[in-house]
Amino acid sequence: MSESKQNGTNRRRFLKRTGAIAAATTLSALAAPPVHAAEDGTIKIALVGCGGRGGGAAVNALSVTGGPIKIVALADVFKNKVDSLYNRLSGRFGDKVDVPEERRFVGFDSYKKAIEAVGPGGVILLVTPPCFRPMHVEAAVEAGVHIFMEKSFAVDAPGVHRILKAGEAATKKNLKVAGGLMSRHYAPLEAAIEQIHDGAIGDVITCWAYRMHGPVGFAARPAEVTEMGHQIRNYHCYTWVNGSFLLDWLIHNLDVCCWAKGAWPVSAQGQGARMTRVPKDQLYDEYSVEYAFPDGTRMQAQGRHITGCYDFFGDVIHGTKGSAVIGEGVSDPKIYKGHNTTRENEIWRHTGERQTPYQVEHQLLFDAIRSDTPYNETKRSAMACMTGILGRMASESGKKITWDEAMASTLELAPGIEEFTMDSTPPVTPDAEGNYPIAIPGRAKVL
pLDDT of residue 37: 60
Residue intervals of the chain classified under CATH 3.40.50.720 are: 3-184+357-377
Closest CA to 326 of 318, 336, 316: 316
CATH architecture of 3-184+357-377: 3-Layer(aba) Sandwich (3.40)
* Cβ proximity of 188 and 350 under 8 Å: yes
Sheet with 123-126, strands from edge to edge, namely: 104-106, 69-76, 43-48, 123-126, 146-149, 177-179
**Rg of the Cα atoms in the chain:** 22
pLDDT in tens, 144-191: 999 999 999 999 999 999 999 999 999 999 999 999 999 999 999 999
Instruction: Round to whole Å and give the CA distance between 268 and 397.
Output: 11
Tell me how far apart the alpha carbons of residues 375 and 9 are, in angstroms, rounded to a whole number.
11
Which pLDDT value is given to residue 26? 32
User: Is the pLDDT reported for residue 249 higher than 60?
Assistant: yes
Among residues 6, 370, 51, the alpha carbon closest in space to that of 179 is found at 6
CB of 178 closer than 8 Å to CB of 184: no
Do 391 and 247 contact (CB within 8 A), yes or no?
yes
- Under DSSP, is residue 85 helix (H, G, I), strand (E, B) or coil? helix
Residue type, 354: R
What does the DSSP 8-state code read for residue 122?
-
The per-residue pLDDT for 38 is 61
Number of Cβ within a 10 Å radius of residue 294: 12
Instruction: Decide if pLDDT at 273 tops 60.
Output: yes
Pick 25 or 225 by higher pLDDT.
Answer: 225
Q: CA-CA distance, 359 to 418, in Å (whole number)?
A: 31
Can you tell me the distance from the alpha carbon of 387 to that of 266, in angstroms, rounded to the nearest whole number?
9
Closest listed residue to residue 389, CA positions, set 181, 116, 152? 152
pTM of model > 0.75: yes
Return mean pLDDT, the chain.
93
Mean pLDDT within 359-365: 98
The CATH 3.30.360.10 portion of the chain extends over 186-355+386-419
Q: Is the pLDDT of residue 14 over 70?
A: no
- Identify the CA nearest to 3 among candidates 359, 382, 387: 382
Options 3.40.50.150, 3.40.50.620, 3.30.360.10, 3.40.50.300; CATH of 186-355+386-419:
3.30.360.10
By the 8 A CB rule, do 279 and 218 touch?
A: yes
Distance of CA 134 to the CA centre of its chain: 13
Rounded to whole angstroms, how far apart are CA atoms 293 and 268? 9
Closest to 184 measured CA to CA, from 137, 253, 131: 253
Cβ atoms < 10 Å from Cβ of 196: 24
Summarize pLDDT for 208-243 with one digit per residue, the tens. Answer: 999 999 999 999 999 999 999 999 999 999 999 999
pLDDT of amino acid 352: 85
- pLDDT for 353 equals 84
Confidence check: pLDDT of 35 > 50: no
Smallest CA-to-CA distance from 268 within 247, 239, 238 is with 247
